[in-house]
Amino acid sequence: MLHVSSVVTPYSTEGMPVTPPQPRTISWPAAEDEAASGAEGGDDDEPTVLEAPAAGAVAVAAGGVQRAATQALLGQREVLRERLLGLIATNGAKEEGDPEKLEADAFIIDLEQQAAWRKDGDARVATLRAQTEKDNLGKELLTDRYRVEFWESMATKVRVRVRVSPDPEP
């Protein structure tokens, strides 16, 4: 038994003995392979998550083919990238009034990504605009309160006292 006088936990009250909770064992249900039972209706050629470790040796041999296909796609992507950058550079070298010069929007390939960026930017602008309007309203309120307290309450407005004689020299 522990006696704690200064610490209060969910399991104790001040000055009372602390008894820890009893440990419980958690039993998880056995995992079922849905694709193997035909619930998904998937292809039987592809191994499921539970069959993949057993088919590891076959996957290693197929991995070389997969790696070669990936490298070929990366090579094609690099060729297209270089071609696109060349077209952008050629377009940028043309004069501003040239009718063959394209707008920058013509070189955007991923229109979905551009739309997502626009949507994100619009949301950020709306949030910033709302915050700025809220700040401005707070400043307007303070300005009105200061005006009422200090300016409107003056008996004679726009009166300034000025010293006529210069400061004495030390």
Give residue-wise pLDDT tens across range 14-31: 556 656 667 777 666 666
Torsion of CA 80, 111, 100, 97, to 10 degrees: -130
> Is 44 contained in some domain?
no
What is the identity of the amino acid at 144?
D
> Is 168 contained in some domain?
no
Residue 88: closest CA among 110, 99, 80: 80
> Is 10 contained in some domain?
no
Say whether both 86 and 115 belong to one domain: no
> Is 129 contained in some domain?
yes
pLDDT confidence tier of residue 105, bands split at 50, 70 and 90: confident
pLDDT digit string, tens, across residues 33-77: 554 445 555 556 666 666 666 665 555 555 667 888 888 889 998
Domain that holds residue 84: 55-104
> Is 8 contained in some domain?
no
Say whether both 100 and 68 belong to one domain: yes
Say whether both 95 and 120 belong to one domain: no
CA distance 150 to 147: 6
Say whether both 125 and 99 belong to one domain: no
**Location of structure tokens 């619009």:** 122
Task: Count how many domains the chain has.
Answer: 2
> Is 163 contained in some domain?
no
Say whether both 89 and 114 belong to one domain: no
Residue 94 CA to its chain's centroid (Å): 38
